[in-house]
Amino acid sequence: MSVIHLTYEVSGDDFTRAGEASGMVKSKLKKLGYNKDAIRRVAIAMYEAEINMVIHADGGVVDVDIYPDKVEVVLADKGPGIPDVKKAMQEGYSTAPDNVRNLGFGAGMGLPNIKKYTDEMKIETTLGVGTTMYLTVLVKQ
């Protein structure tokens, strides 16, 4: 049973608001006294995943479960799906459009960063239906 459950909606194509949900989770964890490193890893992984939803999937829903020893984040979208997950996981591989690159995104580091900062990462994706990503960050107190 989780200590706290949070749900956020990420709106599509709105880069100014991306990061709000991860920011709120960050301050929540801070208030709860979680260690800095764990908070940072959750916040970055979640932000990258949020940005992916904004760029590729016209938004989606984020569910966060906070446990004493771990934080689980589930991000579900109804976007186009990822045709080749293995390729998408490679550093530098990006299908982001130019307008996104001008904002400093689209470096092809999103999924690799998520992998780097989480202890578990699972992607379920179906072309034309959507993508759900399951992330776990273990908290070592």
Partner 1 sequence: MTVKELAEKLGAEIITGKNSLDREVDGCYIGDLLSWVMGRAEMDNVWLTVMGNINTIAVATLADVSCIVLTENAALDANAKARAVMQDVAILKTEENSYQTAIKIYKLFEEEA
User: For binding to partner 1 (CB under 8 A), which residues are involved?
Assistant: 15-16, 18-19, 22-23, 26, 36-37, 40, 43-44, 47-48, 103-105, 107-110, 112-113, 116
Give the residue among 12, 134, 25 at the shortest CA–CA distance from 79: 12
Q: Give the C-alpha separation, 85 to 124, whole Å.
A: 9
Q: Measured on CA atoms in the order 21, 27, 29, 34, is the torsion positive or negative?
A: positive
Minimum distance, C-beta of residue 1 to partner 1, in the bound complex (Å):
28
| 3-class state of residue 57 by DSSP | coil
Minimum distance, C-beta of residue 16 to partner 1, in the bound complex (Å):
5
Q: Give the C-alpha separation, 94 to 100, whole Å.
A: 11
Minimum distance, C-beta of residue 49 to partner 1, in the bound complex (Å):
12
Q: Which is nearer to partner 1, 16 or 141 (CB)?
A: 16
Q: Which is nearer to partner 1, 92 or 128 (CB)?
A: 92
